[in-house]
Amino acid sequence: MDWQTYGLHVEPPPHTDEDEFAYAAGWTISGLATLGTIIAVWIFAI
């Protein structure tokens, strides 16, 4: 018995119509805001 095929039926996830540019932009803005907060706390010793 092959452990990789035992009871497994894997289908690819359904394609979503999410706008990939907006998704990437959101993560980029979130990351920059997080870094900005860390740097502000570090520099100004808030």
Higher pLDDT, 8 or 43: 43
pLDDT on residue 45: 86
The residues, any chain, with a CB within 8 Å of residue 46's CB and separated by 6 or more, are 40
Q: According to the model, what pLDDT value does residue 16 have?
A: 62
Entry pTM: 0.55
Q: What is the DSSP letter of 15?
A: P
Amino acid 21: pLDDT: 84
Decide if 46 contacts 40 (C-beta within 8 A).
yes
Residue pair 35/41 in contact (Cβ under 8 Å)? The answer is no
Q: Specify the pLDDT at position 18.
A: 67
Tens-digit pLDDT profile for residues 10-43: 777 666 656 788 888 999 999 999 999 999 999 9
Per-residue pLDDT, 41: 93
Half-sphere exposure for 26 (CA within 13 Å, toward CB): 6
